[in-house]
Every structure is written in structure tokens, then in C-alpha cells.
Amino acid sequence: MAKVWIDGKTSIEVEHAEGINVVHLTVDDKEIAVSNGKTILEAVERAPGIGNIPALCHHPAVKPYGACRICTVEVSEDGGSKFKFVAACLYPVKEGLIVKTQTEKIKKLRKGIIELLSARCPNVKRIQELADEYGVEKPSFVLGDQDCILCGLCVRACQEIIGKSAISLVNRGIYKEVAAPFYAYELSGDCIGCGDCAFVCPTGAIEMGADGRPTLPKVKIPYAEIEAMMKKETVSPS
């Protein structure tokens, strides 16, 4: 009979669950059981006190996206002989899966991601909390002044929950940002002012304006030389 942990301190003996497709997996040396079809992140969320998986781009109301990669864990499907890195919010649970959430490799990987986010969004409270937790004191990169981490939660909430596409992610690289159709900062009539985008935003980058409509974050080009180059390109030839 298997010992299944309900939370970090309580376990029960389980032989089988009749009529329920149950998957047993081990998370940080503790066996838990969840219904099949869940992801690793969902499994850990259902077992308080077991595992520690931070996540920024995840919300239970929308489909997983795997943008931030903060939820990366190590998994083994062969009994522990070989481990690989996966995004916990995307990876489905499997019978006998072994999951490690707090190895030194994982902590180092998360610390690197948090350092990048801290450089981009140094004034965001949630990022500051993660930086304190993982020991990121001062990023090794040029500091930006952003609030948006481009997790895409706002876009997915608008599309999947509300059924609209009032906002989307546009451009690539350092120019990537959240914008309205036709690359506008002011929302069109497609926006119904529901506020879902602001509600799911993990950093507070989107706020509801006085008119009852959300205000989108504007990307500030992080490198002075690129900004100067862009201005030069926009100057009309004499």
C-alpha cells in the first residue's frame, strides 16, 4: 500500500481509487496522487507544503503558456537514472514520475531568470520578492524601467475568457510589447472594459484608468544607442 502525502505533514495509506484514473508521482521524495491529465504545477498546487514551484505566467483560468520558465523543475521518467529540465506548468504528470523542485541546478537556473527579470523590471514588487528569495542582490545587466514581463497572461485572458482579441503581443526581441490592434496604445471598441487583463497581470503593469478602461504598458527601449538609431531612421532626408 502506498503512502500518499496530502500536504507537507499529513499522509495516508492508499491502495487504489476505484473508478478514478489516479497517477502517482514523487515530488521531492514524497509520493503524491492526482487525477490524470494534470500538470506538475497543478499537482504540487494540490499538495500544500510539498515542493516549491514559483510561477509568473500561470493562471488556472487560462491555458498554460510556459513564457517565464520560473517554474522549471527536474524530472525523471526512468526511476531516477536520468533527469531533464521541464516547465512544470506545461509538463503532464505520469505514473512513477520523479520530480525535483529544489536542486542546486534548479535554484541556479531560476536565479539566472530572476536576474534578467530584475534588470528589466527592477521596481516590480513581485520580482523584488523573488530576487530576495533566490539571493539576487544586483543584476549584472543594464537596468531597465519596465513593469511588463511579457508573460502574455493579459492577452490569453482577453482571448480565452472574454472571447475578444482587444490586445496582443507584437514585435520581437527588445521591441516586443502588449498593444491594441494596428499597434495602437489606445484600446479600440473591441475592449469591453472588463478588467480581466489587469486582474491577471502578475506585476501590475496594466491598470484600470479613470474611464473604466485598462491602460497598456509602453515599452521603453533599454539601450540608448538603439533609441538614437531609431530616431535617426525617422528623420526625413533633407
The most confident of 42-51, 95-104, 187-196, by mean pLDDT: 95-104
CA-closest candidate to residue 223, choices 117, 144, 121? 144
* 85 plus 165 within the same structural domain: no
* 29 plus 93 within the same structural domain: yes
Which set of grid coordinates corresponds to residue 188? 479600440
Q: CA 93 → CA 41, 65, 78, 200, distances in Å? A: 9, 17, 14, 25
Helices (H), the chain: 40-45, 104-120, 125-134, 153-156, 196-200, 224-234
* 11 plus 94 within the same structural domain: yes
Report the CATH number that the domain containing residue 196 is assigned in CATH. Answer: 3.30.70.20
Residue 224 lies in a domain: no
Q: What is the pLDDT of residue 173?
A: 81
* 10 plus 83 within the same structural domain: yes
The answer on pLDDT for 184 being more than 60 is yes
* 7 plus 83 within the same structural domain: yes
Report the CATH number that the domain containing residue 88 is assigned in CATH. Answer: 3.10.20.740
Residue 129 lies in a domain: no
Q: What is the pLDDT of residue 84?
A: 97
- The helix/strand/coil state of 2 is strand
* 94 plus 159 within the same structural domain: no
CA-closest candidate to residue 200, choices 110, 49, 65? 65
Q: CA 235 → CA 56, 220, 230, 238, distances in Å? A: 40, 20, 9, 9
* 164 plus 77 within the same structural domain: no
Q: How large is the average pLDDT for residues 214-224?
A: 69
* 6 plus 98 within the same structural domain: yes
Residue 189 lies in a domain: yes
Largest CA distance in the chain: 83
Residue 12 lies in a domain: yes
pTM of the entire predicted model: 0.81
Residue 76 lies in a domain: yes
Residue with the bigger pLDDT between 18 and 100: it is: 100
CA-closest candidate to residue 133, choices 114, 106, 105, 151? 114
Quickly state the pLDDT bin for 179 (edges 50, 70, 90). Answer: confident
Quickly state the pLDDT bin for 211 (edges 50, 70, 90). Answer: confident
Specify the number of domains making up the chain. 2
Residue 146 lies in a domain: no
According to DSSP, the residues that pair with 50 across neighbouring strands are none
When the pLDDT of each residue in the chain is averaged and rounded to a whole number, the result is 86
* 98 plus 6 within the same structural domain: yes
Tens of pLDDT, residue by residue over 111-145, are 999 999 999 999 999 999 999 999 999 888 888 88
Q: What is the pLDDT of residue 94?
A: 94
Determine what percent of the chain is predicted with pLDDT higher than 70.
83
Q: What is the pLDDT of residue 235?
A: 56
* 15 plus 98 within the same structural domain: yes
* 11 plus 88 within the same structural domain: yes
Residue 25 lies in a domain: yes
Q: Which domain holds residue 68?
A: 2-102
Rounded to a whole number of angstroms, the CA Rg of the chain reads 21
Tens of pLDDT, residue by residue over 48-79, are 788 889 999 999 999 999 999 999 999 999 99
